Every structure is written in C-alpha cells, then in structure tokens.
C-alpha cells in the first residue's frame, strides 16, 4: 500500500507523536477486541453445550486437537525460515526458552515443546557455534573475515 500523503504526514510528525497516537488508539481497539472475543466465546460455549446435550463429542475433540496443532504450526514457520535462510535469524535464545518452558508444563503442547527444542538446536548450530568460533579466532590472533571467499585481488 503506497499512500504518499500519509507517509508525508506521519513521517514529519516524529516518533513521539506517532507513538502517542498508537497508544491512544490502543484503548478503543482493546475494548473492541474484548467485546468481540466475548461474543465469539459465548457463541462457542453455546455451540459446544448443544453438541454435548446431543451426546456428540466431535466439536470438543476438534477444539482440543486445534489447540494442540495451531501453536505447533506457528513454531513450524521458524523451521521454514531456518531452511530457506540457513540461519536462525530473528530468534533469540530467551524467546525460545520461554516458549519451551511454557510447553514443558503443559501436557497438551508436548509436540510444540519438541519443535521448540529443535529450533533451539538449529539456533545453536547456525548462530552460537559460529559466534564461539569467531571469539576463539579473535583470541588466537587469526584475522577475522566476514565471508570465507577467495579475495578478488
């Protein structure tokens, strides 16, 4: 979306004004989101109760399966990013640790825990190992290069 007028106005207002506008917008947005979720949750509870009264467990089972699959699918996108870029860019050890710790204490999200451990392993391989090697080379006095490519001169 390219709106030059908006870019000019918001670009000249400065980050302080922009942040204040976002903060003010957060209040009505929060009220809207909460009221929307209340309506959706009430509708879901009513639908599940109707299904339970008819002795059908399929909707409740579907909700349980979706609550396990969707967070795991969110972690899988990190695997795709690691595969495409051969690096764990934009993923911090703290973020991965918090995600894995939350899943460690949840029986439902065991599959997600295994996926987070895999992301942690990839991050260690692609980010931590090169960092440690660079630090060791720096201490040994060996010159540090950005890329292992032959010189063009």
Q: 49 and 62 share a domain?
A: no
Q: Please, which pLDDT band fits residue 11 given cuts at 50, 70 and 90?
A: low
Same domain as 17, residue 44: yes
* Residues 68 and 142 occupy one common structural domain: yes
71 & 141 share domain: yes
**Is residue 5 situated within a structural domain?**
yes
The encoded tokens of residue 121 equal 């392993």
Report if residue 117 sits inside a domain: yes
- Residues 47, 61: one domain? no
- State mean pLDDT over 65-72: 84
Site of tokens 């995600």 = 99
Where do we find the tokens 């639908």?
47
Summarised one tens digit per residue, pLDDT across range 92-149 is: 788 888 878 877 777 666 778 888 888 888 888 888 888 888 888 877 766 655 555 5
Q: Are residues 103 and 63 in the same domain?
A: yes
Q: In angstroms, rounded to a whole number, what is the distance separating the alpha carbons of residues 28 and 20?
A: 14
Q: 12 and 27: one domain?
A: yes
Q: DSSP letters along the chain, please?
A: ---HHHHHHHHHH-HHHHHHHHHHHHHHHHHHHHHHHHHHHHHHHHHHHHHHHTT--HHHHHHHHHHHHHHHHHHHHHHHHHHHHSS-TT--HHHHHHHHHHHHT-STTHHHHHHHHHHHHHHIIIIIHHHHHHHHHHHHTPPP-SS------
Domain final position from 55, 75, 100 = 55
């Amino acid at each position: 979306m390219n709106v030059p007028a908006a870019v000019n106005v918001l670009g000249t207002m400065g980050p302080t004004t922009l942040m204040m506008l976002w903060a003010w917008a957060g209040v009505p947005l929060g009220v809207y989101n909460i009221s929307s979720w209340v309506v959706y949750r009430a509708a879901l509870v009513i639908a599940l109760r109707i299904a339970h009264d008819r002795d059908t467990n399929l909707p409740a089972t579907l909700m349980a399966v979706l609550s396990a699959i969707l967070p795991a699918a969110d972690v899988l996108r990190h695997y795709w990013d690691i595969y495409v870029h051969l690096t764990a860019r934009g993923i911090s050890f703290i973020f991965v640790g918090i995600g894995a710790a939350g899943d460690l204490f949840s029986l439902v999200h065991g599959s997600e825990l295994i996926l987070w451990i895999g992301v942690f392993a990839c991050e260690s391989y692609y980010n931590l190992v090169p960092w440690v090697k660079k630090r060791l080379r720096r201490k040994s006095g060996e010159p540090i290069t950005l890329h292992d490519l032959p010189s063009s001169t």
